[in-house]
Amino acid sequence: MICGRWVYVLWSLSLVFSLFAGSLEAQTKTVVRVGFIAEQTGVASMSGERGIRATKLAERQVNTAGGVNGTPVEVGIYDNNSTTQGTVNAVNKAIEDKVIALSGPGRSTHIQAVSPIIKENAIPALIPGTAVQLTRQGNPWLFRVRPDDSIYGTAMAQFLMRDLKLTKIGIIHDADAFGTGGADIVTETMKKSNLTPVRRERYTVGTKDYTAQLLNIKNAGAEGVVLYTTNSEDAAVIFRQIKELGIKWKIVGCPATTSQVVIDLVKDASEGAYAAVDYFADANSQSKALRDAYFKEYNQEADFLTAYPYDTLVFLVDVMKRAGTTTDRNKIRETILATKGYKGAMGTYSFTPNGDGIHEANLVQIRGGKPQYIRTISVEQQ
Amino acid sequence: MSFKKGLPVKIPFYLAVAIVLAALPMLIRSNYWVGTLNLAIIYSIAVLGLNIILGLTGQLNIAQAAFWGIGAYTAALLNTRLGWPFWATFLVAPPTAAAFGVILGFPTLKLSGRYLAMATIGFGIIINLILNNWKEFTGGVDGIPGITSPVLGPFRFSTNGSFYYLALACLILAALTQVKIKNSRMGRAFQAIKDNELAAELSGVDTFKYRVVAFALCSAYGGMAGQLFAHRTKYVSAETFFIDMSILFICMLMIGGAGSVAGSIVGACLLTFIPEWLRFLQGPWAMAIFGLAIVVIMIFMPTGLAGLAKSVGSKMAVRLRPESQKEPAELPREASH
Amino acid sequence: MFDITTLAQFLVTGLAMGSVYALVALSFALLYKAVGILNFAVGESVMVPAFIVVILLSVLRLPFLPAYLIIIGVMVFFGAVFHRTVYHPLRGRPFISVLVSTIGASLFLRNTSLLVFGADPRVSPALFQVQSVNFFGVFVPPQYLLIITTLIILVVFQYWLFEKTLLGKKMQATAQDRDMARLLGIPVDTIILITFIYAAILGGIAGILLAPIFYVTSDMGFMFALKAFASSIAGGLGSIPGAIVGGLFIGVVELFCAAYISATYRDVFAFIILIAVLLLRPQGFFGEKVSEKV
């Protein structure tokens, strides 16, 4: 049937290699392993790189301070290639490597995909994804470390309606869970004030030209626009094209629109735009400390992309100290939920039974190439 | 090599191979690596399909990932929306993918091969965009989670180790079927079309019909691989089934050896495992090397590793068994596998 | 929604995008016409110069004109190397071999540029200071005008080259019948090399024009290649005017469909056109009648 016995030899050899590779994986050191799911490659790698730097910074800081009661902390970077499939692989690999907890995945769509795996493996995951349903689906192992969209979306809509006093509002959002969910919340909030968006335009993440969407919104008579973009890279193109098309709108964006990635790419095209963000450098002493440390180490401005990986690791270490364990996932879980009033760079963490940790956001405006603080909004949790 | 010679030598060899294959999950204790092995098997099936249309019949299909995706989504939808079990989706996914293959192939195969290549590109993009954006039906970018593990009677295949046997069985089925096809009249028609389409047509082969059949078989294999994939990862999302993957399948086939059943499998396994073994070869490094390998192979080794193995193997065979030289001169029947 | 200003805006943007597609399609169609190959790596011949533009202008801060000349030089080299490695050794083989080879080359180039230049989108400095010119309410970024103008100049140049110069006539002869050309004493291999270089230069021009308006990434070439294929088929595979008309057509139609039908499916329209053309009129606008299979 098959000649070339060597083909079989080749194949057997390749499989035998996996044997060895498999046994090489097992390491026993006394460290505490945390898995960080990152966009190291792929379309969002620019954002991902910041997260990696931030979590490494946190790793160094906690280890200098003695780790978890003497045990050093090791952060494993698991690349998801910015894709959902990649995230599934990364999470599986992290679990295989016996990490005690996960930091990330970062995107709501990705979190949605790995939620069953996390639940099945009973591993705590601290997630920054803001799509509301993530913590409402009965997975007791997801802990949200950022305000969810009901806070952002509501804040953004209300700001446009009440502060800027606009009635003709358009929405441009991406097709991701985050973008679509956010757009829905904005629409609902407007409905409560008897308003409907004049136009709602959707795009697929990674689109390079938004002329069609932008002109449609313009022709519908919009005076203000809500930007719900998952990727900073996309937000950058949108800002630039709005300027190129000579459109003058009041823009209120989600946190991604204020990231340093955007500001670096668009220079002054986002000047004057507003946004709802969580991390804000001058908000409290932790955030200031993070900004200073990050700038000192990497010569870059910190933003929300850096804040949540940093905060997550520092918080996890604190949790493990309080729980008195580095191996008992259930105890860690309980300790997280019992946390009230923990002060991090992202704000104050007080966890509700379903796993939401932060309930406030900041409104900022980009002036002089930097987000300038306007005020904080907090929402009472039911 | 025909079965007539060397039979006593072969049985222990095949037995050893069978034992190793059967014991593999126990030998590889790492769950992650068995999982990777499963993925390699799934890719092998898709690449086997590609082998039929490209390796055997000489037509370029740059949309194998789309058929893989159609199989996966068919299984996912039937399983999560209608509660169909594994064996049911197994029976339905390949024909569904094949149907799409015929729909695409029928009009375009009337034209020359260049147009087929272009058409498959367009088709692949369209399918990917529909899967990605038709939120109501396919879940859009969120994909379809919650696909169940295969359950066949009293057997559950929910771990990587148990799934391995299921996947291996499917691979053996797929490979043996293809060997049969190769040695059949259909296979010879494919070969004739690949060698010289005009001559084949003139000698009475209905090239159009056979090309459509080859295309349908290719997409059926892709659909089968997709169905297995869906039940293994328990989640499908459109971004996986993009033209990049089609290109990777082509790489796997060309490096392993276009036209060869074993080559398709070896190519798929190698290109799945090498980036995993050599961590620094992840991502762009691996892909850049694969791309370069393709160019080199096209120039120097168009029959890929399998072709290389075959020529080395026959040279070794000559040297190891010189008595075979004394046999009556027989026109070497190059039964290409 | 259908007022004249909006329509004009769409038309201008569509023509600008279409001009880029046309340039890339031109490079593609040229190689098809000359040597009968489908060059899957045509997008990379746009992406690589775009990155180099960014490096030369942003990092090394060269002035525009020397930078552009350097890039043309680089593309000459690129075209020659491409010819020698990807095409020349395979020149006798069926077109599938070359196509697969160009697929490999595309993969290699895309990932190598990812490794060399990184994954961050790069910005190239704008050629023009003003963001947009306002023509009666239609905002036209000057770069768009430059692109359209360049296309027109190139079309005229190419016509002159092929019809009025000896080199061009030799190129045409080689394309039509290689063996005959060889018999007539035309150095066929050299002509083919020159064709590859010219096609690469076209890609370089497209890259130069695109860098200021797109964020340059290592996968940007890919989509352009696919659109170039669609443009070529729509215009008629092997037809030079067809590639141009096809590109403009797809650029405009794509934008209008995105605006009035569905923006999320924007990329799909080009490929729907591709498939539709293949089904209904495979020769495209200007191609010769594609004979049914013998």
Q: Subunits with at least 3 CB pairs below 8 A relative to chain A? A: B, C
B44 touches A at CB < 8 Å: no
Could you tell me if A301 and A291 are in contact, meaning their C-beta atoms sit under 8 angstroms apart? yes
Q: What's the rounded mean pLDDT across residues B131-159?
A: 82
Whole-number percent of chain B with pLDDT over 90:
42
Q: How far is A304 from chain C (nearest CA, A)?
A: 18
Which residues of chain A approach chain C closer than 8 Å at the C-beta? 41-42, 45-46, 49, 175, 201-204, 207-209, 211-213, 215-216, 219, 233, 236-237, 243-246, 265
Above 60 in pLDDT, residue B331? Answer: no
Q: What is the pTM of this model?
A: 0.85
**Interface predicted TM-score (ipTM):** 0.86
B165 touches A at CB < 8 Å: no
How far is it between the farthest Cα atoms of chain C?
61
Q: Do A212 and C258 touch (CB under 8 A)?
A: yes
How far is it between the farthest Cα atoms of chain B?
70
C101 touches B at CB < 8 Å: yes
A92 touches B at CB < 8 Å: yes
Residue in B118, B121, B254 closest to C100 by CB: B254
Contacts of B283 in chain A (CB under 8 A): 41, 79, 81
A6 touches B at CB < 8 Å: yes
C123 touches A at CB < 8 Å: yes
- Residue C96 forms part of a structural domain: yes
Contacts of A172 in chain C (CB under 8 A): none
Nearest CA in chain A to C259: A212
| C-alpha to C-alpha distance for A147 and A144, rounded to whole angstroms | 8
Contacts of B133 in chain C (CB under 8 A): 264-265
Q: What's the rounded mean pLDDT across residues B30-59?
A: 91
Contacts of C237 in chain B (CB under 8 A): 114-115
Give the model's pLDDT for residue B324: 53
- Residue C64 forms part of a structural domain: yes
Residue in B237, B335, B337 closest to A113 by CB: B237
Q: Subunits with at least 3 CB pairs below 8 A relative to chain C? A: A, B
Q: Confidence band (pLDDT; 50, 70, 90) for A15?
A: low
Which contacts qualify for B16-22: CB closer than 8 Å, 24 or more apart? Answer: B17/A8, B17/A12, B20/A12, B20/A15, B21/B168
Token pair of A370 as six digits: 């930097």
Q: Do B285 and C111 touch (CB under 8 A)?
A: yes
Q: Confidence band (pLDDT; 50, 70, 90) for A71?
A: confident
Q: Do B60 and C114 touch (CB under 8 A)?
A: no
Cis peptide before A116 (omega within 30 of 0): no
Nearest CA in chain B to A82: B239
Which domain, by its residues, includes C21?
Answer: 12-220
Type of residue numbered C273? I
Could you tell me if B257 and B313 are in contact, meaning their C-beta atoms sit under 8 angstroms apart? no
Q: What's the rounded mean pLDDT across residues A285-302?
A: 85
**CA angle, A176 as apex, A172 and A177 as ends, to 5°?**
110
Above 80 in pLDDT, residue A41? Answer: no
* A244-276 residue pLDDT tens: 888 889 999 988 888 777 887 887 888 889 988
* C263-277 residue pLDDT tens: 777 888 888 888 888
Contacts of C3 in chain A (CB under 8 A): 219
Options 2.60.120, 3.90.550, 2.60.40, 1.10.3470; which CATH number does B2-336 get?
1.10.3470
B234 touches A at CB < 8 Å: yes
A24 touches B at CB < 8 Å: no
Nearest CA in chain C to B105: C279
Contacts of A230 in chain B (CB under 8 A): none
Secondary structure letter of residue A133 according to DSSP: G
Q: Do B115 and C282 touch (CB under 8 A)?
A: yes
Q: How far is C166 from chain A (nearest CA, A)?
A: 42
- Residue C256 forms part of a structural domain: no
Phi, psi of C132 (to 5 degrees): -150, 150
Q: Confidence band (pLDDT; 50, 70, 90) for B3?
A: very low
Q: Which of C240, C233, C268 is closest to C253 using CA atoms?
A: C268
Token pair of A310 as six digits: 């940093």
Q: How far is C119 from chain A (nearest CA, A)?
A: 6
Give the model's pLDDT for residue B173: 93
Q: What's the rounded mean pLDDT across residues A231-240?
A: 86
* DSSP-derived pairing of the beta strands B151-152 and B155-156: antiparallel
Q: What's the rounded mean pLDDT across residues B48-62?
A: 93
C294 touches B at CB < 8 Å: yes
Nearest CA in chain B to C102: B295
Q: Which of A207, A227, A261, A81 is closest to A156 using CA atoms?
A: A227
Nearest CA in chain B to A202: B133
Whole-number percent of chain C with pLDDT over 70:
97
Q: How far is A209 from chain C (nearest CA, A)?
A: 9
Could you tell me if A126 and A134 are in contact, meaning their C-beta atoms sit under 8 angstroms apart? no
Residue in B273, B283, B313 closest to A4 by CB: B313
Give the model's pLDDT for residue A290: 87
Q: Subunits with at least 3 CB pairs below 8 A relative to chain B? A: A, C
Q: Do A3 and B313 touch (CB under 8 A)?
A: yes
Above 70 in pLDDT, residue A281? Answer: yes
Q: Confidence band (pLDDT; 50, 70, 90) for B336?
A: very low
> How many domains, chain C?
1
Give the model's pLDDT for residue C72: 93
B24 touches A at CB < 8 Å: yes
* A324-351 residue pLDDT tens: 888 888 989 999 988 888 888 888 888 8
Whole-number percent of chain A with pLDDT over 70:
91
Residue in A42, A202, A233 closest to C121 by CB: A233
Q: How far is B277 from chain A (nearest CA, A)?
A: 7
Nearest CA in chain C to B247: C103
* C176-206 residue pLDDT tens: 888 888 888 888 889 999 999 999 999 999 9
Q: What DSSP element (H or E) covers B32? A: helix B31-50
Which of 64-93 (B) contact A at CB < 8 A?
A: none
Could you tell me if B72 and B230 are in contact, meaning their C-beta atoms sit under 8 angstroms apart? yes
Ranges of beta strands (E only) in A197-266 are 199-203, 224-228, 250-253
Residue in C106, C109, C278 closest to B111 by CB: C278
C9 touches A at CB < 8 Å: yes
B285 touches A at CB < 8 Å: no
| Most C CBs within 10 Å, among B57, B115, B116, B118, to test the C interface | B118
| C-alpha to C-alpha distance for A154 and A363, rounded to whole angstroms | 12
Contacts of C217 in chain B (CB under 8 A): none
C71 touches A at CB < 8 Å: no
| C-alpha to C-alpha distance for B153 and C284, rounded to whole angstroms | 55
Show me where the domains of chain B are located. Answer: 2-336
- Residue C231 forms part of a structural domain: no
* A78-91 residue pLDDT tens: 988 888 878 888 89
Q: Is A144 left (phi over 0), alpha (psi -120 to 50) or beta?
A: beta
More reliable by pLDDT, B123 or A379? B123
**Is residue A208 classed as helix, strand or coil in its secondary structure?**
coil
Residue in B24, B141, B309 closest to A7 by CB: B309
Q: What is the CA radius of gyration of chain C?
A: 19
Q: Confidence band (pLDDT; 50, 70, 90) for B215?
A: very high
Residue in C38, C94, C268 closest to B126 by CB: C268
Secondary structure letter of residue B147 according to DSSP: P
Q: Do B285 and C115 touch (CB under 8 A)?
A: yes
* A179-214 residue pLDDT tens: 888 899 899 888 988 888 999 998 887 777 888 889
Give the model's pLDDT for residue B124: 93
Give the model's pLDDT for residue B169: 92
